[in-house]
Amino acid sequence: MMMMEGNDLKFIDSVLEKYGNDKTKIIAIMQDVQERYRYLPKDALEYIAGKVGMSESKLYGVATFYGNFSLNAKGKYVMKVCRGTACHVRKSSTVLQALYDATGTSETDPNSDDGLFTLEIVSCLGACGLSPVVMVNDTVHAAMTPEKARALVEQLREEG
């Protein structure tokens, strides 16, 4: 229970209170927690399971079922690379490869060593008219090319 102290505890309690400790709201609870920590810390999950009256194994089952939840710390910039059909036919695979190369990540290791980037493949961002698309946190970058992808990584790296 290393991290579940002071402010962290207060924060998680506030989230639980917002959803009335209701276990049917567990997905929303985890979404709020992940928004703050950029992943779901193990201690937090254990604490939440106890509070809403759900077994830890069941909570783990729900958390691992959904693609958006991560049990590992994510980078500051989560880059969602759209691999939907429209992006695919407009060559999103080359954009993805350029991003892997530029951030030093790969399909098996999507987090960059400097903690800045996490690469995620998403099935469709619904911005097909602008394909290929990459979403960084909540910002959509349209009509990507390998060159633009490399420039984007450079720019984000400078911003730190």
Partner 1 sequence: MRERIKNLEEFRALQEKFIKARACEKRKVLVCCGTGCAAGGNLAVYEELKKQMAEHGAAFEVSLNDNCGGDATGIKKSGCHGFCEMGPLVRIEPEGWLYTKVKAADVAEIVDKTILGGEFIERLGYHQNGELYKRQEDIPFYKKQTRRVLEHCGHIDAESIEEYFSIGGYSALCKALFEMSGEEVIAEVSASGLRGRGGAGFPTGKKWAQVAAHTEEPVKFIVCNGDEGDPGAFMDRSCMEGDPHKILEGMIIAGVATGSTEGYIYVRAEYPLAVSRLSIAIKQAEEYGITGDDILGSGKSFHMHINRGAGAFVCGEGSAMTASIEGNRGMPRTKPPRSVDKGLFGKPTCLNNVETFANVPDIITKGAAWFRSVGTENSPGTKAFALTGNVVNTGLIEVPMGTTLRQVVYDIGGGIKNGKKFKAVQIGGPSGGCLTEEHLDLPMDFDSLKKVGAIIGSGGLVVMDEDSCMVNIAQFFMNFICEESCGKCTPCREGTTRMNEILTRITHGSGKMSDIDELRSLAKMIQVSSLCGLGKTAPNPVLSTLQNFEEEYIEHIRDKRCHCGTCKALAQFVITDKCIGCTKCARNCPVNAITGTVRHKHEIDPTKCIKCGTCKDNCPVGAIKEG
Q: Can you give the binding site for partner 1, defined by CB under 8 A?
A: 22-28, 30-31, 61-62, 65-69, 80, 83-90, 122-131, 133, 135, 138-142
Nearest approach, Cβ of residue 6 and partner 1 (Å): 28
Find out whether the peptide bond into 110 is cis, omega within 30 degrees of 0. Answer: no
Measured from the CB atom, the residue of 4 and 142 that comes closer to partner 1 is 142
Measured from the CB atom, the residue of 20 and 160 that comes closer to partner 1 is 20
Q: Record the tokens describing residue 21, joined without a space.
A: 């400790």
Q: Is 108 exposed, middle or buried (0-12, 13-18, 19+ CB in 10 A)?
A: exposed
Nearest approach, Cβ of residue 129 and partner 1 (Å): 3
Measured from the CB atom, the residue of 5 and 18 that comes closer to partner 1 is 18
Look-up of token digits 């602008």: 130
| 37 CA to centre of own chain | 10
Please give the DSSP secondary-structure letter assigned to residue 111.
B
Residue 134's beta-bridge partner residues?
81, 141
Nearest approach, Cβ of residue 60 and partner 1 (Å): 11
Measured from the CB atom, the residue of 2 and 31 that comes closer to partner 1 is 31
Nearest approach, Cβ of residue 64 and partner 1 (Å): 9
